[in-house]
């Protein structure tokens, strides 16, 4: 048996926090009776939220999470080295997985879901899903080097696609630059390799946006469920 708010969350209907609010507001019924936060339910119990009976027999409930990934967490479903994974940060019993990867020391926006169709859409190169990063690099980047990144550079014997690149700030005292870079590809360690190819080491890297989704309202390690409107918009990014 599990607490009713956890069941509602696991089914992808609401986040745990929102489910608790619905229970407090008297909008959740268990077998026709108003639920309380401490109530636990069996598989045979009927759960009704806002008048809608939840389908607990459907194992294909799709869930979508946006996580602000912290440093020191791996973007895999499990890790043979015993390190914490992005899955460990999400409170769900459903089998979910990250959409793409962020390096161990890279922070920021990452999606997690159990929707294979959407995952394939977002990762397919033809759809050119936009990813925006903020890179702190060693050195004061020059205008000519920014132009090189914009035009594409050679990494792993391949030339990267044109990117949007903007110098945000620089600090002569620490000999560092903060650079915004937007790419549409997803090669392994791509951003770090792009800067390295023109002689700059990336000291810190954060993904600010994945497609139109950003994590500016999420603290490191926090996550939220996507709205149905956001999911629909993500599906709309696919190219025929």
- Delimit the domains of the chain by residue range: 2-53, 64-125+214-235, 130-210
Dihedral sign of CA atoms 187, 193, 198, 201 in order: positive
Indicate if the pLDDT at residue 49 is higher than 70: yes
pLDDT at 52: 83
35 touches 29 (CB < 8 A):
yes
Q: What is the mean pLDDT of residues 213-219?
A: 95
User: Is residue 105 flagged as an active site residue?
Assistant: no
Q: Which class is domain 2-53?
A: alpha beta
Whether 64-125+214-235 and 130-210 share one fold: the answer is: yes
88-107: per-residue pLDDT in tens? Answer: 999 887 878 899 999 999 99
Indicate if the pLDDT at residue 114 is higher than 90: no
* Confidence label for 15 from pLDDT (cuts 50, 70 and 90): low
121-153: per-residue pLDDT in tens? Answer: 998 889 999 999 999 999 999 999 999 999 999
Query: How far is CA 186 from each of CA 10, 100, 119, 130, rounded to the nearest angstrom?
Result: 30, 8, 13, 10
Which tokens in the block code for residue 127? 């759809």
64-79: per-residue pLDDT in tens? Answer: 999 999 999 999 887 8
Q: According to DSSP H, which parts of the chain are helical?
A: 4-10, 16-24, 116-123, 143-151, 190-197, 228-235
CATH number assigned to the domain with residue range 130-210, chosen from the 4 options 3.40.50.720, 3.40.50.1000, 3.30.70.1560, 3.10.20.30? 3.30.70.1560
The more confident residue out of 176 and 20 is 176
pLDDT at 8: 82
| Angle (CA) 120 124 127, round 5° | 115
| Number of helices (H), then strands (E), in the chain | 6, 17
Paired strand residues for 180? 134, 166
CATH architecture of 64-125+214-235: 2-Layer Sandwich (3.30)
Q: Residues 54-92, buried b or exposed e (16+ Cβ, 10 A)?
A: bebeeeeeebbbbbbbeeebbbeeeeeeeeebbbebbeb
Q: pTM to 2 decimals? A: 0.75
pLDDT at 94: 80
**What are φ and ψ of residue 81, in 5° steps?**
-95, 0
DSSP 162: P
Q: Which of 45, 103, 156, 171 is catalytic?
A: 103
pLDDT at 140: 97
Q: What is the mean pLDDT of residues 29-37?
A: 94
Tokens 């809608």 found at: 52
Query: How far is residue 109's CA from residue 208's CA, in Å, rounded to a whole number?
Result: 6
Query: How far is CA 62 from each of CA 9, 33, 92, 171, rounded to the nearest angstrom?
Result: 11, 27, 12, 45
């Amino acid at each position: 048996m599990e607490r009713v708010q956890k069941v509602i969350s696991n089914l992808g209907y609401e986040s745990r926090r929102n489910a608790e609010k619905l229970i407090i507001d008297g909008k959740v019924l268990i077998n026709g009776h108003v639920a309380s936060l401490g109530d636990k339910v069996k598989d045979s119990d009927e759960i009704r939220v806002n008048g809608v009976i939840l389908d607990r027999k459907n194992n294909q409930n799709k869930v979508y999470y946006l996580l602000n990934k912290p440093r020191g967490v791996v973007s895999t479903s499990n890790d043979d080295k015993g390190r914490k994974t992005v899955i460990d940060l999400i409170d769900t019993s459903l089998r979910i997985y990250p959409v793409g990867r962020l390096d161990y020391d890279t922070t920021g926006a990452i999606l997690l879901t159990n929707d294979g169709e959407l995952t394939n859409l977002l990762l397919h190169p033809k759809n050119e899903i936009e990813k925006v990063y903020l890179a702190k690099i060693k050195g004061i980047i020059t205008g000519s080097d920014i132009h090189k990144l914009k035009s594409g550079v050679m990494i792993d014997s391949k030339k990267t696609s044109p990117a949007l690149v903007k110098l945000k700030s620089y600090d002569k005292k620490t000999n560092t630059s903060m650079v915004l870079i937007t790419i549409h590809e997803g090669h392994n360690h791509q951003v770090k390799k792009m800067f390295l190819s023109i002689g700059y080491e990336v000291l810190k890297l954060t993904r600010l946006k994945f497609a139109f989704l950003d994590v500016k309202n999420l603290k490191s390690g926090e996550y939220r469920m996507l709205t149905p409107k956001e999911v629909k918009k993500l599906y709309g990014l696919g190219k025929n």
